[in-house]
Every structure is written in C-alpha cells, then in structure tokens.
Amino acid sequence: MGFPDTRFNVNLSILFTELALLERPAAARAAGFTAVELWWPWVDAPVPEASELAALRAALEDAGTRLVGLNFYAGRLPGPDRGALSIPGEESERFRANVPVAVEFARSLGCTSFNALYGNRVEGVSSEEQDRLALENLAFAARAVAEVEGTLLIEALNAPESPACPIVSAPRAIEVVDAVNAATGLDNARFLMDLYHLSMNGEDLEEVIDRYTGKTAHVQIADNPGRGAPGTGQLDFDALLTRLTKADYDGFIGLEYKPGDAPSADAFTWLPADRRAAE
C-alpha cells in the first residue's frame, strides 16, 4: 500500500490508549504522525478545568502534532452511551455548554473541524421530539463553528454496534447535513464518511464515495471485520482510497482502528513512514 496522494492522521482516542492522555501526542509523533484527532477526552466533563485544557494543549504543541479534528462532548465512547444532542434537559444542556469550550480549545490549536455525534434514542421521548431537539442543537453548534470558519461533521454509525442510534446509513447522515445547512443557511455542515461503519451497515462503499464525496469533509477508516488496521480484514483500501482521490477528496484520512494486542506503535506497519507526516 502506497497512497501517494493521501494525508493520514491518527485518532488518539482509540490508538495509543495504553498510554495516559498527555503522553499520546508524543507517542504519535514518535511513530511519524504530525496530525491527530480526538474524541472529547473528558467523558464526564463537557466543561473541564482550564488547567486540564491547558495541559492537553501543551502536550499537543510540545509533541509537534497538529490537531485536525475534535468531537464535541457525547458521553462515554465508544458508543455513544448518551444522546447528548437529542435528550431534553441536562444532557442537551451539557452538549451546549461544551460547544464554546471545544470550539475555543480547537481554535487555539488551529483546528476547525468538529464532529457532533447524534447520540442514541432514549425511552420516554418521542423520536420526533428527539430529532427536533437534535436539529436545534446541531444548528447551535454549526453557528458556533462558523465563528472560527469551521466545519460541523455529521457521522453515520453502524446498526450492529449502535442499534439505538438513528443515523446508521450514509443517506440518513446526508439528510441531517442538508437539514442543518437549511436551518442555518451557513452551509458549513458536512458528512464524515467512516468506511468501517458504512461497511458494517452493508453499504456499497464505492457508491457512497461516488455519490457523497462532494459533501464529505473528513474520512475515517478501519478494516472490517474486527475494526483493526488495514489488511486485517477484507476491505480493499487501495481501491477505496484511490476512488476517493479520483472523486476529488483531498482531506485527511483518519486512522480510527483498534491496534489489537500489540502496542499501538506497532499497528502502522501497513503504512509507509513517509505517508504519516501531513505537513
């Protein structure tokens, strides 16, 4: 695998998790990566202490790693186990409280790409009410992101692993993208194309790439089955990433896979060292 026209970044919330959070940026840099992304690291704190934010900022800067993507608060991942976007009351308020904090933290590091996970259905609230609230919260996030000229990402998860999530197909995610853009008039919502989730849903990945790359601002990969590194499953990443390039996708490819039993630093043998730096 060569991928000469592709820029890769590593997700520090699923790789290098054998290390403490503040040690991960340096470990990623030692493995050759200069670009990283994160799920919201404080799963129970949408608004963490300023000292914690400062420590993570320093760890990223000191390591020489560039933050290129950040999830808004969504509870404990993987999951998510909370539908922060769509649950009336405290959870919705926690999501909204997180948005300006996350935007400012990312902005201070030059990052303008934000993923808002839709969350799970909950009992006792109609799906219509949950979807209405989710759209209001996504519009709120899109407006905040627009202040830093950023992009709001909408991701489809997969039904086998997230059966309570209502966004489990590329067309459904695109519907949400379009709804947010219509609600705000900002046109800064885009699709996060996670090829692992889509393959778990049984979608035709080539068709997804051909139809939706124009509305895609970030791509994530893991092999299927197993959610391991490319080459551990059955997906043909040479063909898929080549197809993305031909469809004019020129953004990052986020590595969001499980390293297996070995240390994370050993999980990149499939990727030539000269393809890991993203300057």
If DSSP states are collapsed to H, E and C, what string results for the chain?
Answer: CCCCCCEEEEECCCCCCCCCHHHHHHHHHHCCCCEEEECCCCCCCCCCCHHHHHHHHHHHHHHCCEEEEEECCCCCCCCCCCCCCCCCCHHHHHHHHHHHHHHHHHHHCCCCEEECCCCCCCCCCCHHHHHHHHHHHHHHHHHHHHCCCCEEEEECCCCCCCCCCCCCCHHHHHHHHHHHHHHHCCCCEEEEEEHHHHHHCCCCHHHHHHHHHHHEEEEEECCCCCCCCCCCCCCCHHHHHHHHHHCCCCCEEEECCCCCCCCHHHCCCCCCHHHCCCC
Query: What is the arithmetic mean of pLDDT over 236-256?
Result: 96
How far apart (Å, rounded) are the C-alpha atoms in residues 125 and 137? 16
Tell me: pLDDT of 277 over 90.
no
Lowest model confidence (mean pLDDT) among 78-82, 90-94, 216-220: 78-82
Give 87-145 pLDDT, tens digit per residue: 778 888 999 999 999 999 999 999 999 999 998 888 888 999 999 999 999 999 999 99
Cis omega (within 30 of 0) for bond into 259? no
Give 146-205 pLDDT, tens digit per residue: 999 999 999 999 999 999 899 999 999 999 999 999 999 999 999 999 999 999 999 999
pLDDT for position 87 = 75
Tell me: pLDDT of 80 over 60.
no
How far apart (Å, rounded) are the C-alpha atoms in residues 212 and 225? 23
Residues belonging to the active site: 155, 256
How far apart (Å, rounded) are the C-alpha atoms in residues 128 and 3? 43
Which amino acid makes up residue 130?
Q
How far apart (Å, rounded) are the C-alpha atoms in residues 137 and 118? 10
Q: Which two tokens stand for residue 181?
A: 């853009």
pLDDT for position 5 = 72
Query: What is the arithmetic mean of pLDDT over 67-73?
Result: 97
What structural domains does the chain harbor? 7-268 (3.20.20.150)
Band (pLDDT 50/70/90 cuts) for residue 216 is: very high
Query: What is the arithmetic mean of pLDDT over 211-236?
Result: 98
Tell me: pLDDT of 77 over 80.
no
Give 1-49 pLDDT, tens digit per residue: 556 678 999 999 999 999 999 999 999 999 999 999 999 999 889 999 9
Band (pLDDT 50/70/90 cuts) for residue 261 is: very high
Tell me: pLDDT of 81 over 60.
no
